[in-house]
A and B are shown apart, each in its own frame.
Chain A
Amino acid sequence: MTARLVTGAAGLVLGTYGAWLLLSRQDLDRLTGVAVWLAAGVVLHDFVLAPLVIVAAAAAARLLPRPARGPAAVGLVVLGSVTLLAVPVLGRFGARADNATLLDRPYTAGWLVLAGLVLTSVVVATVVRARRGTAGREGRSTDGPSARR
């Protein structure tokens, strides 16, 4: 218990130091921008991305045949998360006319190749599972408010 208390207190000290660093080094206008960004991350995840994933999972559970559900879930996690973290390169928002060495890949084509690989793997895994007939054990349902009656 003592070790936990000490660890918790250490966390508080580290976090408070960070808050002090944040508040003491920039003016109010910039701090407002930081606050908006900090809040936006939570709001976008909790009330946009997470509900979207629940809706997608519910739709998949309703539309996809059972052997496809497991592979589709794997595909969604892999492709969804990699797509999200690739937003800055896919949009090429930081590209500059004077620097040809920055953001110099064909990102849309690269993403399509990646998506094609994921999709192919999902289809192959689905076919394999359907042939083996092992699909009945897993892959019954999804959850979340929208999936409940």
Chain B
Amino acid sequence: MRAPTDTDFSSRLRSAAVTARVGLWLGICFAVAFVTGLISHYAQVPDQPVPFPTSPSWGYRVTQGLHVMAGTAAVPLLLVKLWTVYPRLFKRPPRGLRRLAVEAAERASIGVLVAAAVFQLASGLANSAQWYPWAFSFRATHYAVAWIAIGALVLHVAVKLPVIRRALAADVDATGEDRPAATEPGALSRRGLLRTTWLAAGVAVLATAGGTVPLLRRVSVLGVRSGDGPAGVPINKSARAAGVTATATSPSYRLTVAYAGREVSLSRDDLAAMPQATESLPIACVEGWSAGATWTGVRVRDLLDLVGAPPGHDVRVVSLQESGPFRQPVLQSNFADDERSLLALQLHGETLAIDHGYPCRLIAPDRPGVLQTKWVHRLEVEA
């Protein structure tokens, strides 16, 4: 059996006319995922030269939902696009050293693009289902490879721009950009294949987006979460997994608020005796799921006033959790001073479930779920 060459692939569907059209939407999906990914990454940076906005409160819910939806829609688009260009993998190398070098460089850049694109989609989908079959850091790697993918994509568009322009300007059935061998009609027309691709992308999103779009909850049979949970809100990390069951339910639990040597210690009853506020704020996780919720508790600003902390200071929010990268994140001053930011004692009018962060948890507007610290036991106002 001999190795195939590109002339063995005879379907007229494997045409630049199809590739350019699918590629356009694939590029849009990657651009959306890249921008929303940068937003999510920046929201988790402790020191922000430009403060991450606290409004609209649903901002992060939308950007992170879009991030996962764009990545999900990109799966069928990438598969079909790679199918249309698959024959090029078997193209015989050209003669002449200079041409060979150009060809090798282009193949290397395509190799990087495909590797990075497949990696981003596969690792992102696994992460959204909390599946980590690898030893590397997901966040650092997904972030770094995102730059590689978008860089290789921009380079690829620059290299292919003349073909893309000609293909998009001509009719989808035009043969100007086709390989000479690509003449046999396929099982579908080119328009049929394009419509099929859009359909597959649409089905992929509908089948999975129910975790963040409540309207789709019943349709999303392949969603990571049904949306159920204590008080009707899902959880990401349980009290057991965080190892806080004993400390969170202990009668000796106290919340300590500290600023410049002054400390105030409060039991849960003390917190419940303070003026209570109720806010509707979504909980939106980096994995892409989110839920609207109504929280009742003490305004963070009121707690900071107890120790005389002036506005404009960052606050370190320390959890009872003994390990983990988000054990004590920084609540930036604009979030700490926003009057919607609460140390919540109740969710939807019920006492906070232990898996939602009992005795009390942070809930602030427009903030990634990993930074909405649960089982809070210390607020340290930074100097």
Contact = CB atoms under 8 A, between A and B. Distances in A.
Interface of A: 4-5, 7-8, 10-19, 21-22, 25-26, 29-31, 33-34, 37-39, 41-42, 45-46, 49-50, 53, 57, 60-61, 69-70, 72-74, 77-78, 80-82, 84-91, 93-94, 96, 98-105, 107, 109-111, 113-114, 138-145, 147-148
The list of the 10 closest CB pairs from A to B, nearest first, reads A15-B151, A18-B147, A110-B221, A11-B155, A41-B118, A14-B151, A11-B154, A18-B148, A94-B130, A8-B158
Contact of B147 (A14, A37, A57, A141): A14
Interface in B124-182: 125-126, 128-137, 140-141, 143-159, 161
B46 interface: no
Bin the interface of chain B by size: 35 or more
B222 interface: yes
A95 to B, nearest CB: 8
B167 to A, nearest CB: 16
Interface stretch (B52-60, B224-232, B303-311): B224-232
Interface residue SS majority, chain B: helix
Interface string B1-22: 0001000111100100000000
Contacts of B140: 21, 25-26
8 contacts: A14-B154, A19-B144, A41-B119, A49-B79, A82-B200, A102-B235, A138-B185, A141-B10
B293 interface: no
Contacts of B42: none
A12 B72 contact: no
Given A101-B235, A102-B130, A77 B200 contact: yes
Given A11-B158, A74-B192, A81-B200, A143 B89 contact: no
Contacts of A50: 82-83, 86
B64 interface: no
A37 B123 contact: yes
